[in-house]
Structure 1
């Protein structure tokens, strides 16, 4: 299990959960879910079609004496022209994701969200008419054993 496995599985989990999400977009389209990064848009029209979106990535991996941890980052981007309540959908999606992760812990039956590590944040500066926020948390992964043997072709070569 490597960090890419973690974020890929979490993306699939959230994509499935978002199909049941009651806050579908005005167009009736489900929220896009991506792994790693939001795709680069070559035009404003393409950029607009990417929203709303959820992006599951990670900011780092920490190897400790007795555990390895992936620092997961889930970003949510919505688009709404309303200057007063335009961020409401983004706040709702963040809360829905938070609830899905915590109520299904361990997520996907194998990713244990580390107790007390989840933090939701929304920056003051927003790229209007887009609105964005993020959820950060830590997930335990198995520590590599005998990494030298792994790097040179597997345990049979060690």
Structure 2
């Protein structure tokens, strides 16, 4: 099982939670028109776009990607980055649905670990919201460390009787 497989399966989990929790997701965007309520979940990176209209079509979005992998004698782990972006031209309160989406993700990850009975969240999540925002997009991320199955060492035996 690879770090990318972990990211893919946790992204699938978030997609399923979004589909199953329509009412909860709608409360995040209670003041938005229906066309902006579809939360997209990507693995890897957000597709590159150049215009505000293209940015608006991608949002809101969650991007799950492996950031670092650690292998020690005690076990293996992957730090996943959950990048979150919303689009709102309201300069005063456009950030509210962004923060609500961050909290929704945090709640789902913390309350469902191990995810799919396989991916265990270690310790806690860290949420970061940079001061500089690419307005009218709002952006931030969560980081969490998940346990990976530990690769096993292979010991070769001399089967020739030596």
Tell me the TM-score normalized by structure 2: 0.84
Partner of 2:39: 31
The 5-angstrom pairing of residues 53-132 of structure 1 reads 53-116=61-124, 118-132=125-139
**Unmatched tracts of structure 2, length 5 or more:** 157-162
How far 1:43 moved relative to its partner? 4.3
Check the 8 A contact 2:55/2:87 in 1, yes or no. no
Cα deviation 1:76-127 (Å, max 9, x = unaligned): 10000111111101100000000001111111211100023x1011001000
**Unmatched tracts of structure 1, length 5 or more:** 150-158
- Whole-angstrom CA distance in 2 between matches of 1:147 and 1:136: 33
Partner of 2:147: 140
- Whole-angstrom CA distance in 2 between matches of 1:138 and 1:27: 34
Q: Secondary structure at the match of 1:90?
A: helix
- Whole-angstrom CA distance in 2 between matches of 1:76 and 1:148: 44
> Is it true that 1:4 corresponds to 2:11 in the alignment?
no
Q: Which is worse superposed, 44-53 or 80-89?
A: 44-53
User: Which entry has the higher C-alpha Rg, 1 or 2?
Assistant: 2
- Whole-angstrom CA distance in 2 between matches of 1:129 and 1:31: 17
Q: What root-mean-square deviation, in Å, do the aligned CA atoms of Structure 1 and Structure 2 show?
A: 1.8
